Amino acid sequence: MKIGIKTNLKRDIKALASKLFCQKLREVGIEYKVCDNAKEYFDAKVIASTKEVFEWCDVVVAFGGDGTMLDIVRNLPSDLPILGINMGKIGFLTEIDENQMGYAISALQSGDYAIERRSMLNATLGDQQFYALNEIVVSCQDPCHVSVFDIYIDDILADTLRSDGVLVSTPTGSTAYSLSCNGPVLSPTVKALIINGICPHSLHSCPIVVDDNMSIKISTKNQYMRVIADGTIVAKSQDDGMDIIIEKSEKQASFVRLKNQNFYAKLRAKLNYWGD
């Protein structure tokens, strides 16, 4: 097995956790390469560009939080499996904490793990395409103005929303931004998408759950709109409104699962908290 290491240096300060992980890999004879954003902390012989690392390895081990996982998933060239080591706060997408690195290496060596596949979104805006694991958001660049959005499902007008924005979420994303907008929590195995208004100016607006084989179009004539994929602004418009089509992607995210942890147990453990 060949391991690719991607570390978020804002979380893994001075790459201390990832260096310890690589030391443990050397001790058991597992090959590894490290993405070059951390080149100042590793021997040059194991450093390569992110693209080269992802093309070379069998498994990506990511050090960071959920944002790190989302960024990696969007930019992977294939459904390469990812093992997330939590260096953030919630770490809903990660699998283990840094004190379990030895256990993770043993499981990878022995093959005592499973691959969990999660559906992703593909958004088409003109000739541009964007991918997201959690959600695609369409909103005004100025959050102080309400915009009007027409929502089409398989080319049929389903609703018109006056709101700060609209998001389309996967089941994975149902525990992220959509949850903050009072959306339903979906099990990752549910084959559905959530359409949710962001701060709707309405007494009746509620989320819509549709089959994930349906095509969703969000159309607005408002100016200065933007598209956000998993928290990253990926497109902006100026004067001509926006028509964006969002569908389930053929691309999937693959996560290494070491523990037979029930989804709802993880939901309680990660999200049932107060304060920091």
Q: Is 41 left (phi over 0), alpha (psi -120 to 50) or beta?
A: alpha
Cβ-contact 169, 139 below 8 angstroms:
no
Q: CB neighbours (10 Å) of residue 178?
A: 26
| CB burial of residue 67 (10 Å; 0-12, 13-18, 19+) | middle
Q: Is 97 a catalytic residue?
A: no
Sign of the dihedral defined by the CA atoms of residues 66, 71, 72, 76, in that order:
positive
Q: Which among 12, 66, 159, 230 is annotated as catalytic? A: 66
The beta strands (E) that lie in 49-175 are given as 59-64, 81-86, 96-97, 114-125, 128-132, 135-140, 147-153, 156-163, 165-169
Q: CB neighbours (10 Å) of residue 141?
A: 14
Q: Identify which of 239, 212, 233 has the alpha carbon closest to the alpha carbon of residue 130.
A: 233
The letter for the amino acid at 41 is Y
Calculate the CA dihedral of residues 77, 82, 88, 93 and round it to 10 degrees.
100
Name the DSSP class of 14.
G
33: Cβ contacts below 8 Å, ≥ 6 apart? 2, 3, 4, 5, 46, 47, 48, 52, 53, 56, 57
Q: Identify which of 42, 236, 66, 58 has the alpha carbon closest to the alpha carbon of residue 138.
A: 236
What residues act catalytically? 66
